[in-house]
C-alpha cells in the first residue's frame, strides 16, 4: 500500500486575472485563504481550471511556487505539471518538487496523443525523475485519449505513481481500475457529479471545481461518506447537483470564474480563447448560487 496524498475534496483552483490579463497574485492569496478557512483538503495548482494551457512557462512556474509558498504546508499542494511534451513535463515536475510541492498532477498527452505503450513510457519517464507522489489525470473529453484499466495496472507498479484523477465519466472503468490496481492506486473523482459513486468504489475523494465556490460542501460530501453517513453524503451531492451542472454550462473554467465574480471575489475573466458565458448562462449560474446562499 502506498501513502495517500490527501483524502476528501481538493480544489482545482482558478487563477485570478487582472483586467490586462496578467495574474492577480493578491487575489490568489485571498482565494487560497478562503479555501483553507472553509475546510478544503488540498489545493491543486495549475490544473485545467487554472488555465494552465494559456500560461507561459515562466507564469506556470511563478504560480506554482507562489501557491506552495503561501499555503506553507497548511494543506497539501498538488502541482499540475502535465504536458503533451514528455521532457517539458519532466522538467516542470522537477521544478515543482524543488519548490516543495506535496504531489504532482500529470495529465495524459493531448493533441499528439499516443498509444497505451506511449502512455506507460511517458508517465514512467517523468516518475523516474522525481521523488514525490504523482496523480495521473485521465480526461478523455479534453485530450482525446483514455488510460485503460490495464495501463493503470502497469503504471501503478511505479513507486511514485500513487493515484489517478478519473474524469472519464465511466463508472464501469473506475470499478475495473479498482479491481486491477487495488491499494496500489488511489482514485479521486474528476467529476463533481460522481463523488459519491466513486467513493463507493473505494475512492479517496475528489479534485473539484465545485470547491472553488463551495469548499465546505465538497469537503462535507466526502467527510460524511467517510464517517459512514452515506445517505447524508448522497443527499448533499444531489442537493447541489444543479450548481455542479451549471458550473459546466459552458467550457470550464468560464462558468466557475463567473460564479466567483458574482460572489464578489473579482477573479477576472478567462484568457482567450475562452470568453465570458452568455448573459443567459450567467443568469442561470447566479440563480444556482442564490439558491444555495452563496451570493454576498
Count of alpha carbons within 13 Å of 225, Cβ hemisphere only? 26
CATH label, 8-230, candidates 3.50.50.60, 3.20.20.70, 3.30.70.1350, 3.90.1150.10: 3.20.20.70
- pLDDT tens digit sequence for 172-198: 999 999 999 999 999 999 999 999 999
Look at residue 251 and tell me whether its pLDDT is greater than 90: yes
pLDDT above 90 covers a percentage of the chain that reads 99
pLDDT of amino acid 2: 87
| Alpha carbon distance 168, 136 (integer Å) | 12
In the predicted structure, residue 111 carries a pLDDT above the cut 90: yes
Residue 165 annotated in active site? yes
Q: Which of 27, 95, 152, 165 is labelled catalytic?
A: 165
Residue 66's pLDDT band (cuts 50, 70, 90): very high
pLDDT in tens, 52-64: 999 999 999 999 9
The answer to pTM > 0.95 is: yes
% of residues, the chain, pLDDT over 70: 100
> Catalytic one among 27, 65, 95, 137?
137
- Asked if 28 contacts 267 with a C-beta cutoff of 8 angstroms, the reply is no
What pLDDT, in 10s, does the model give residues 139-158? 999 999 999 999 999 999 99
Closest CA to 15 of 33, 31, 35, 37: 31
pLDDT digits (tens, 9 = 90+) for 195-223: 999 999 999 999 999 999 999 999 999 99
Answer yes or no: is pLDDT of 296 > 80: no
Domain boundaries, the chain: 8-230
User: Mean pLDDT across the chain, nearest whole number?
Assistant: 97
Give yes or no for residue 42 having a pLDDT over 90.
yes
Residue 1: predicted pLDDT: 74
Residue 47 banded pLDDT, cuts 50, 70, 90 = very high
The DSSP secondary structure of the chain, one letter per residue, reads -PPPS--EEEEE----B-TTS-B-HHHHHHHHHHHHHTT--EEEESSGGGTGGGS-HHHHHHHHHHHHHHHTTSS-EEEE---SSHHHHHHHHHHHHHHT-SEEEEEPP-SS---HHHHHHHHHHHHTT-SS-EEEEE-HHHHS----HHHHHHHTTSTTEEEEEE-S--HHHHHHHHHHHGGGSEEEESSGGGHHHHHHTT--EEEESGGGT-HHHHHHHHHHHHTT-HHHHHHHHHHTHHHHHHTTSSSTTHHHHHHHHHTT----PPPTT--PPPHHHHHHHHHHHHHTT---
Specify whether 137 is catalytic: yes
User: Burial code of 74-89, b = ≥16 C-beta within 10 A, e = fewer?
Assistant: ebbbbbbbbbbebeeb
Amino acid at each position: 500500500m502506498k501513502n495517500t496524498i490527501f483524502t476528501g475534496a481538493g480544489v482545482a483552483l482558478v487563477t485570478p486575472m487582472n483586467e490586462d490579463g496578467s495574474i492577480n497574485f493578491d487575489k490568489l492569496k485571498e482565494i487560497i485563504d478562503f479555501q483553507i478557512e472553509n475546510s478544503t483538503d488540498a489545493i491543486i495548482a495549475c490544473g485545467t481550471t487554472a488555465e494552465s494551457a494559456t500560461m507561459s512557462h515562466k507564469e506556470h512556474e511563478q504560480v506554482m511556487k507562489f501557491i506552495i509558498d503561501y499555503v506553507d504546508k497548511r494543506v497539501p499542494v498538488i502541482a499540475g505539471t502535465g504536458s503533451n511534451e514528455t521532457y517539458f513535463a519532466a522538467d516542470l515536475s522537477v521544478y515543482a518538487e524543488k519548490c516543495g510541492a506535496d504531489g504532482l498532477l500529470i495529465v495524459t498527452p493531448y493533441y499528439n496523443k499516443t498509444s497505451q505503450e506511449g502512455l506507460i513510457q511517458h508517465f514512467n519517464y517523468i516518475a523516474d525523475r522525481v521523488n514525490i507522489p504523482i496523480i495521473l489525470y485521465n480526461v478523455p473529453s479534453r485530450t482525446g485519449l483514455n488510460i485503460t484499466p490495464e495501463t493503470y495496472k502497469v503504471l501503478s507498479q511505479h513507486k511514485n505513481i500513487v493515484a489517478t484523477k478519473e474524469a472519464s465519466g465511466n463508472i464501469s472503468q473506475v470499478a475495473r481500475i479498482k479491481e486491477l490496481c487495488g491499494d496500489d492506486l488511489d482514485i479521486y473523482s474528476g467529476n463533481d457529479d460522481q463523488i459519491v459513486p466513486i467513493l463507493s468504489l473505494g475512492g479517496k475523494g475528489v479534485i473539484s471545481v465545485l470547491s472553488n465556490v463551495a469548499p465546505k460542501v465538497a469537503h462535507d460530501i466526502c467527510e460524511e461518506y467517510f464517517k459512514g453517513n452515506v445517505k447524508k453524503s448522497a443527499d448533499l451531492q444531489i442537493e447541489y447537483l444543479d450548481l455542479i451542472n451549471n458550473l459546466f454550462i459552458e467550457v470550464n473554467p468560464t462558468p466557475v470564474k463567473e460564479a466567483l465574480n458574482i460572489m464578489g471575489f473579482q477573479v477576472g475573466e478567462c484568457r482567450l480563447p475562452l470568453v465570458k458565458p452568455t448573459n443567459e448562462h450567467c443568469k442561470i449560474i447566479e440563480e444556482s448560487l442564490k439558491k444555495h446562499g452563496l451570493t454576498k
